[in-house]
């Protein structure tokens, strides 16, 4: 029996529900339907999944997808031991056997021909064929698959296959409303409510510039980082500059405009 | 007695027969302290004397008092002017300089004296106005602009220096450069960040015969900003523009509809404007408290002065700045009324403005709506608040103002500026009405002025000329005559066939192990079989991410020797290759007829396939006119700027000799093309020249750089070389 206890989440991760995402995930999990989390970077997708894994008391196995990822990286491969070859389960197989939640982060980064290995797991079959080993692994009753992707990155090259997309239940993530986001920033970074509200204001300024030279506005994560910098003694303007403006863009005009807009938010 | 050989001694000797001058000279000499400079000065005066400058000129010069070094320079410049334009002109210049005492005058005077001696007096007469508008440093530039714009047209030259030419007026109105053009993008981004929508910002053009606008004007969501804030130093303009945009946004975000004027008098309207400004700013400050720091420096009114403008400025400050103390009853009443009003009621300003206006009316405070300028400077003129539709009731003065404002807006709104202009501010595209019905103005571009070493903004106009459809069959026949070449190009295309980055497995070497290959090799070894050594993985970069614009020179010089016919075949082959590779590309032909007529014929756009219509346009090209290469290059760059590709390339087919009818010295255009190429390079766009014939090789090296061109001695080589070249360039 595969032991996944190391992948269990010990304490309750902080997660502030924004809509009905917890109910949707619960319902999907009840029927073991695979879930797709959509949304811009840094708005809480990964944290949500950690929270759900903790809530459901399931081990969480996370795989960050990348361009060079092969099916073997997900499923597993034979490795060499003295005098023999030994099969080594990949993270997906591990979760399938042990009944964990397998979370493939930024799945569009992987090549489309890699991602098709999840297909037999995500329909009525619920099994993983290990072709090289000539083994058919039936999914553990508790196994659940979740993927995330950021529609902002979408391009003609990087998109999910239609046959992949249609296997998932979707949950849309976006930056929460100002009040909730301020609550999150305050809680995660430790700053007071007023500073958190100002940081959220600043974040919204940058999000307005999406498509005007910015690929993406400041994420909640960025705002939390800025908050932590202020706690460490930086002035709010310097923290915003360091944690938000500089990482976001190299365009001088954009930096200046964003800097001016941030200055407008600071009393 | 030995003759004194110093310049001073020789000058004294030369002046001996002219006692009046000699006396003046002695006085000037004794007023000087620095002996070396005085000696230099005497040398220059001596030269001037020997140039037969005449008594008036010498007298004027000798009467000047300034540090010796300055006087020495002045004498040298005067000599120069005297030689070219005569003593009378030199005297005028001296008097003008003495009056204004701006060092920057001299280079301008000398330049005009050399190139247009008859205009020196005219320029000197207007020097004060020019210096006031463009500063001392801009004076020579202004003079050079006039000389360049007028060319050999003496009447236009005279009109320019008499400031009767529209270009001269525009140059003066723009002052020390257009602040708005420099700030436009930042302001737009700033506004978008605050508002969440892209604000419509436009430059407010100067109306004919009126002073340039000094305040923002708002009209139905469009924010019209002055081209520059006269009298505000360039370093401070950015903050002022930002403050003005933030104020305009305050109005836009408060979103009040236009209100009927009704029976309000001009002063009441002005007061209502102040009240409304204060209301929207207060609302804005609730959301963006930091804007207080942006606006505060412009509220400089002091509790003194009882005129209408002073009271308006005091009221503005009192409503903005809670810490401001002002005990005037009128101000206190204004504060109280505003404090009692509902901040979300846009109509409150009418009522309060009316009440306050009555008070001032009873106190017989005079108000002139025509000359009134809103203070502080970042605020708008307030006319956007009012609905002037009901003209019968509105005061005639206001109607006049409104009509003028509306006209200005019309000009600003209808100019149809192209939004796809290049991002660099210097090359900001600005469209104006096309003089010819068959051509559409695409954009205006700056041109490099070689002699002055500056960019002349908006100097050239690039116009789109519709293509003529030619006979495809002739083109096809020409292509069929070179079957080998076509096959070779097709082979090259196949070899370079684009693909995704390929992961190569089972390689003899590479960055990391191909784990599956290693396993196979080990298993093979265990089984006693031949083991493979190809156990590595590597990636091969076979991506193509290149976009190109091919510019074809179709000027008159391509008529001789069938150059254009061969260009056509070569371009067709190249286009087929690029289409086969899947590289996005555009084909354009260019020729010019003066700086206002750089004619561009679009053969194929990026999005269009290289299909029969594009081939027909290529076949329909006819030679004619001149080669203004720089403008064509800039436009190609602007088109490429919108294409997202890792490599961007402008490929130019030309005879390498730029020329145009209004440019006497071809070096001007060579230098301008060089600047254009450098400009493209700075934006990550490669420009490469294919120069036909050997004549233009030297120019080509200058324009494109040593490794940026090939010269083809034999024209027949072009079709083969062009495609080869493209493959070489695209691999680089």
Of B469, B475, B465, the closest CA to residue B625 belongs to B465
Burial B688-701 (b: 16+ CB within 10 A, else e): bbbbbbeebbebbb
Kindly list the distances between the CA atom of residue B480 and the CA atoms of B123, B249, B487, B576, B720, in Å, as whole numbers in the listed order.
Answer: 64, 63, 11, 14, 14
Kindly list the distances between the CA atom of residue B335 and the CA atoms of B269, B278, B303, B538, in Å, as whole numbers in the listed order.
Answer: 17, 10, 14, 76
Q: Given CB atoms, is B324 within the 8 Å cutoff of chain A?
A: no
Q: Are A77 and B516 in contact (CB < 8 Å)?
A: yes
Please give the model's pTM, rounded to 2 decimal places. Answer: 0.59
pLDDT confidence tier of residue B542, bands split at 50, 70 and 90: low
Strand segments, DSSP code E, in B616-692 are: 647-654, 685-692
Of B575, B597, B557, the closest CA to residue B715 belongs to B557
Question: Which pLDDT belongs to residue B367?
Answer: 85
Angle at B414 between CA B409 and CA B415, to 5 degrees: 110
Q: Given CB atoms, is A213 within the 8 Å cutoff of chain B?
A: yes
A-chain residues near B290 (CB < 8 A)? 262-267
Q: Is the pLDDT of residue B321 over 80?
A: yes
Are A43 and A163 part of one and the same domain?
yes
**Concatenated DSSP letters for A140-156?**
PTT-EEEEEE-GGG--S
Are A163 and A182 part of one and the same domain?
no
How far apart (Å, rounded) are the C-alpha atoms in residues A206 and B194? 9
CB-based contact A113:A3 (threshold 8 Å): no
Residue of B181, B182, B187, B189 best to disrupt the A interface, most CBs of A under 10 A = B189
Average pLDDT over chain A reads 89
Q: Given CB atoms, is B235 within the 8 Å cutoff of chain A?
A: no
Are A209 and A150 part of one and the same domain?
no
- HEC-encoded secondary structure of A201-254: HHHHHHHHCECCCECCCCCHHHHHHHHHHHHCCCCHHHHHHHHHHHHHCCCHHH
Instruction: Provide CATH code, domain B472-493+545-731.
Output: 3.40.50.410
Q: Given CB atoms, is A267 within the 8 Å cutoff of chain B?
A: yes
Q: Which residues, listed in sequence order, are joined to residue A81 by a DSSP beta bridge?
A: A84
Q: Given CB atoms, is A261 within the 8 Å cutoff of chain B?
A: yes
pLDDT confidence tier of residue B398, bands split at 50, 70 and 90: low
Q: Given CB atoms, is A88 within the 8 Å cutoff of chain B?
A: no
**Concatenated DSSP letters for B490-533?**
HHHHHHT---SPEEEEEESS-SEE-HHHHHHHHHHHHTT-PPP-
Q: In B536-628, which residue ranges form alpha helices assigned H by DSSP?
A: 563-581, 612-619
Q: Are B194 and A264 in contact (CB < 8 Å)?
A: yes
**How many residues are given for chain A?**
267
Q: Is the pLDDT of residue B413 over 70?
A: no
Which one-letter DSSP state was computed for residue B435? S
Decide which of A172, A196, A226 is a domain's last residue.
A172
Name the minimum distance, in Å, from the CA of A79 to any CA of chain B.
7
pLDDT confidence tier of residue B618, bands split at 50, 70 and 90: confident
Question: Which pLDDT belongs to residue B427?
Answer: 36
- Residues of chain B above pLDDT 70, percent: 87
Q: Given CB atoms, is A256 within the 8 Å cutoff of chain B?
A: yes
Question: Within the 471-500 window of chain B, which residues sit less than 8 Å (CB to CB) from chain A?
Answer: 500
- Give the number of other Cβ atoms within 10 Å of residue B391's Cβ: 12
Decide which of A134, A150, A172 is a domain's last residue.
A172
Are A235 and A127 part of one and the same domain?
no
Q: Are B194 and A261 in contact (CB < 8 Å)?
A: yes
Q: Are B195 and A213 in contact (CB < 8 Å)?
A: no
Are A186 and A138 part of one and the same domain?
no
Q: Smallest Cβ distance to B289: which of A208, A262, A267?
A: A267
pLDDT, one tens digit per residue, over A124-180 is: 889 999 988 889 999 999 999 999 988 755 443 456 778 888 899 999 998 999 999
Residue of A nearest to B424 (CA): A253
Q: Are B193 and A263 in contact (CB < 8 Å)?
A: no
Q: Are B193 and A257 in contact (CB < 8 Å)?
A: yes
Q: Is the pLDDT of residue B700 over 60?
A: yes
* DSSP-based three-state secondary structure for A138: strand
Residue of B nearest to A264 (CA): B290
pLDDT confidence tier of residue B510, bands split at 50, 70 and 90: confident
* Terminal-to-terminal C-alpha distance of chain B: 80
* DSSP-based three-state secondary structure for B409: helix
Name the minimum distance, in Å, from the CA of A255 to any CA of chain B.
9
Name the minimum distance, in Å, from the CA of B518 to any CA of chain A.
9
pLDDT confidence tier of residue B176, bands split at 50, 70 and 90: low
pLDDT confidence tier of residue B497, bands split at 50, 70 and 90: low
Residue of A nearest to B284 (CA): A264
Question: Which pLDDT belongs to residue B1?
Answer: 43
Of B634, B639, B728, B626, the closest CA to residue B674 belongs to B634
Residue of B nearest to A132 (CA): B516
Kindly list the distances between the CA atom of residue B3 and the CA atoms of B12, B14, B37, in Å, as whole numbers in the listed order.
Answer: 11, 12, 21
Residue of B nearest to A68 (CA): B503
How far apart (Å, rounded) are the C-alpha atoms in residues B80 and B520? 90
How far apart (Å, rounded) are the C-alpha atoms in residues A177 and A33? 28
Domain that holds residue A55: 5-172
How far apart (Å, rounded) are the C-alpha atoms in residues B690 and B700? 9
Question: Which pLDDT belongs to residue B501?
Answer: 58
Q: Smallest Cβ distance to B522: which of A80, A204, A267?
A: A80
How far apart (Å, rounded) are the C-alpha atoms in residues B205 and B174? 10
pLDDT confidence tier of residue B697, bands split at 50, 70 and 90: confident
- Interface A-B: count of C-beta contacts within 8 A: 77
Question: Which pLDDT belongs to residue B279?
Answer: 92
pLDDT, mean of residues B556-572: 80
Question: Which pLDDT belongs to residue A187?
Answer: 94
CB-based contact B585:B729 (threshold 8 Å): no
Name the minimum distance, in Å, from the CA of A143 to any CA of chain B.
28
Which residue shows structure tokens 């506004």? Answer: B191
* DSSP-based three-state secondary structure for B305: coil
A-chain residues near B539 (CB < 8 A)? 68
Are A128 and A204 part of one and the same domain?
no
* Separation of CA B670 from chain center: 20
CB-based contact B456:B148 (threshold 8 Å): yes
Q: Given CB atoms, is B192 within the 8 Å cutoff of chain A?
A: yes
Are A230 and A121 part of one and the same domain?
no
Q: Given CB atoms, is A130 within the 8 Å cutoff of chain B?
A: no
Q: Is the pLDDT of residue A249 over 70?
A: yes
Are A142 and A250 part of one and the same domain?
no
Q: Which two tokens stand for residue B470?
A: 């030619």
Are A117 and A11 part of one and the same domain?
yes
Name the minimum distance, in Å, from the CA of A262 to any CA of chain B.
8
Are A190 and A208 part of one and the same domain?
yes
- Residues of chain A above pLDDT 70, percent: 97
Question: Which pLDDT belongs to residue B432?
Answer: 37
How far apart (Å, rounded) are the C-alpha atoms in residues B330 and B308? 11
Q: Given CB atoms, is B289 within the 8 Å cutoff of chain A?
A: yes
Q: Are A253 and B186 in contact (CB < 8 Å)?
A: yes
B264 compared with B431, residue with greater pLDDT:
B264
Q: A36 — alpha (psi -120 to 50), left (phi > 0) or beta?
A: beta
Residue of B193, B252, B545 best to disrupt the A interface, most CBs of A under 10 A = B193
pLDDT, one tens digit per residue, over A188-222 is: 999 999 999 999 999 999 999 887 778 788 999 99
How far apart (Å, rounded) are the C-alpha atoms in residues A4 and B125? 92
Question: Can you state the percent helix, strand and coil of chain B, rounding each to 5?
Answer: 55, 15, 35
Residue spans of the domains in chain B: they are: 7-174, 179-413, 472-493+545-731, 502-540
Q: Given CB atoms, is B242 within the 8 Å cutoff of chain A?
A: yes
How far apart (Å, rounded) are the C-alpha atoms in residues B170 and B181? 14
**What CATH number does the domain containing A24 carry?**
3.40.50.300
Give me the phi and psi of A149, to 5 degrees please: -155, 155
Residue of B nearest to A111 (CA): B500
Residue of B nearest to A260 (CA): B190
Which residue shows structure tokens 């209808």? Answer: B414
Burial B80-112 (b: 16+ CB within 10 A, else e): bbbbbbbbebbbbbbebbeebebebbbbbbbbb
Are A152 and A26 part of one and the same domain?
yes
Q: Are A72 and B516 in contact (CB < 8 Å)?
A: yes
Parallel/antiparallel/unpaired status of strands B598-604 and B536-540: unpaired
Name the minimum distance, in Å, from the CA of B374 to any CA of chain A.
24
Number of structural domains (chain A) is 2
Name the minimum distance, in Å, from the CA of B227 to any CA of chain A.
19
Are A234 and A124 part of one and the same domain?
no
Q: Smallest Cβ distance to A257: which of B186, B290, B539?
A: B186
Instruction: Give the relative orientation of helices B35-50 and B7-15 as an angle to the nearest 10 degrees.
Output: 40
Question: Within the 175-204 window of chain A, which residues sit less than 8 Å (CB to CB) from chain B?
Answer: 201, 204
Q: Which two tokens stand for residue B676?
A: 């254009």
- Give the number of other Cβ atoms within 10 Å of residue B412's Cβ: 19
Q: Given CB atoms, is A208 within the 8 Å cutoff of chain B?
A: yes
How far apart (Å, rounded) are the C-alpha atoms in residues B508 and B535? 6
B-chain residues near A72 (CB < 8 A)? 515-516
Q: Which residues, listed in sequence order, are joined to residue B201 by a DSSP beta bridge?
A: B223
CB-based contact B462:B635 (threshold 8 Å): yes
């Amino acid at each position: 029996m595969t032991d996944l206890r190391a992948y269990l989440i010990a304490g309750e991760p902080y997660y502030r529900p924004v809509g009905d995402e917890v109910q949707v995930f619960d319902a999907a999990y009840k029927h073991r339907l695979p879930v797709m989390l959509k949304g811009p970077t840094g708005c809480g997708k990964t944290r949500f999944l950690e929270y759900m894994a903790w809530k459901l008391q399931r081990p969480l196995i996370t795989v960050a997808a990348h361009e060079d990822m092969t099916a073997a990286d997900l499923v597993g491969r034979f490795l060499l031991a003295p005098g023999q070859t030994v099969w080594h389960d990949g993270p997906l197989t591990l979760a399938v056997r042990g009944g964990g939640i397998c979370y493939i982060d930024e799945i569009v980064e992987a090549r489309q021909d890699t991602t098709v290995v999840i297909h037999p797991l995500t329909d009525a079959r619920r099994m993983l064929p290990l072709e090289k080993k000539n083994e058919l692994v039936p999914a553990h009753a508790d196994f659940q698959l979740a993927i995330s992707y950021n529609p902002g990155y979408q391009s003609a090259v990087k998109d999910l296959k239609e046959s992949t997309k249609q296997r998932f239940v979707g949950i849309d993530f976006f930056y929460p409303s100002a009040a909730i986001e301020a609550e999150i920033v305050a809680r995660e970074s430790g700053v007071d409510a007023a500073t958190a509200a100002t940081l959220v204001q600043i974040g919204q300024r940058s999000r307005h510039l999406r498509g005007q030279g910015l690929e993406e506005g400041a994420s909640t994560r960025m705002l939390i980082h800025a908050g932590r910098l202020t706690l460490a003694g930086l002035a709010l303007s310097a923290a915003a500059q360091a944690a938000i403006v500089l990482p976001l863009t190299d365009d001088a005009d954009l930096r200046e405009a964003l800097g001016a807009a941030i200055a407008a938010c600071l009393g | 007695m030995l003759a004194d050989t110093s310049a001073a001694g020789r000058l004294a000797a030369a002046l001996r027969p002219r006692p009046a001058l000699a006396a003046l000279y002695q006085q000037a000499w004794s007023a000087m302290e620095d002996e070396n400079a005085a000696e230099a000065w005497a040398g220059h005066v001596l030269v001037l004397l020997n140039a037969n400058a005449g008594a008036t000129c010498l007298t004027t010069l000798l009467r000047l008092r300034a540090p010796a070094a300055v006087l020495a320079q002045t004498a040298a410049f005067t000599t120069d002017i005297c030689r070219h334009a005569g003593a009378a002109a030199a005297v005028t210049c001296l008097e003008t300089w003495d009056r204004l005492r701006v060092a920057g005058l001299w280079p301008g005077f000398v330049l005009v004296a050399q190139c247009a001696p008859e205009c020196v007096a005219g320029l000197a007469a207007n020097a004060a106005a020019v210096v006031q508008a463009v500063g001392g440093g801009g004076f020579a530039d202004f003079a050079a602009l006039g000389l360049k714009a007028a060319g050999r047209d003496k009447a236009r030259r005279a009109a320019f220096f008499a400031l009767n030419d529209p270009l001269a007026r525009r140059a003066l109105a723009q002052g020390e450069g257009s602040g708005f053009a420099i700030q436009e993008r930042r302001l737009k981004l700033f506004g978008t960040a605050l508002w969440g929508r892209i604000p419509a910002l436009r430059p407010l053009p100067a109306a004919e015969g009126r002073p340039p606008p000094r305040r923002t004007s708002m009209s139905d969501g469009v924010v019209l900003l002055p081209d520059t804030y006269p009298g505000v130093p360039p370093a401070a303009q950015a903050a002022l523009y930002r403050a003005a945009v933030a104020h305009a946004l305050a109005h836009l975000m408060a979103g009040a509809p236009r209100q009927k004027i009704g029976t309000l008098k001009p002063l009441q309207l002005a007061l209502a404007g102040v009240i409304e400004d204060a209301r929207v700013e207060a609302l804005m400050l609730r959301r963006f408290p930091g804007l207080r720091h942006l606006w505060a420096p412009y509220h400089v009114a002091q509790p003194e002065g009882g005129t209408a403008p002073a009271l308006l400025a005091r009221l503005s400050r009192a409503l903005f700045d809670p810490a401001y103390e002002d005990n005037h009853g009128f101000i206190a009443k204004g504060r109280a009324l505003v404090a009692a009003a509902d901040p979300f009621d846009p109509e409150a300003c009418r009522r309060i403005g009316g009440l306050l206006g009555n008070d001032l009316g009873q106190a017989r405070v005079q108000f002139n709506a025509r000359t009134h300028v809103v203070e502080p400077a970042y605020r708008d003129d307030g006319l956007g608040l009012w609905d002037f539709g009901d003209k019968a009731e509105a005061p005639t003065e206001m109607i006049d103002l409104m009509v003028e404002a509306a006209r200005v807006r019309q000009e600003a709104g209808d100019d149809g500026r192209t939004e796809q202009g290049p991002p660099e501010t210097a090359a900001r595209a600005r469209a104006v009405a096309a003089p010819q019905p068959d051509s559409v103005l695409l954009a205006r571009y700056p041109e490099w002025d070689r002699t002055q070493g500056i960019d002349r903004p908006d100097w050239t106009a690039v116009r789109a000329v519709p293509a003529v459809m030619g006979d495809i069959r002739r083109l096809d026949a020409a292509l069929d005559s070179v079957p080998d070449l076509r096959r070779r190009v097709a082979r090259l295309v196949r070899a370079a066939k684009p693909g995704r980055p390929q992961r190569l497995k089972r390689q003899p070497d590479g960055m990391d192990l191909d784990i599956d290959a290693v396993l196979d090799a080990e298993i093979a070894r265990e089984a006693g079989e031949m083991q493979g050594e190809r156990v590595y993985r590597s990636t091969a970069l076979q991506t193509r991410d290149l976009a190109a614009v091919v510019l074809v020179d179709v000027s008159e010089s391509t008529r001789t020797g069938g150059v254009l016919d061969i260009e056509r075949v070569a371009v067709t082959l190249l286009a087929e290759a690029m289409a086969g590779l899947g590289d996005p590309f555009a084909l354009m032909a260019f020729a010019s007829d003066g700086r206002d007529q750089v004619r561009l014929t679009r053969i194929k756009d990026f999005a269009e396939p290289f299909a029969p219509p594009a081939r027909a346009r290529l076949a329909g090209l006819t030679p004619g006119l001149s080669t203004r290469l720089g403008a064509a290059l800039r436009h190609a760059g602007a088109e490429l700027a919108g294409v997202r590709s890792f490599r961007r390339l402008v490929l130019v087919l030309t005879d390498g000799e730029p020329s145009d009818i209004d440019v006497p010295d071809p070096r001007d255009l060579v230098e301008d093309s060089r600047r254009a190429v450098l400009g493209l390079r700075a934006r990550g766009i490669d420009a490469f020249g294919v120069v036909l014939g050997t004549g233009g090789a030297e120019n080509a090296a200058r324009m494109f750089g040593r490794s940026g061109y090939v010269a083809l001695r034999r024209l027949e080589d072009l079709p083969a070389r062009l495609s080869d070249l493209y493959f070489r360039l695209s691999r680089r």
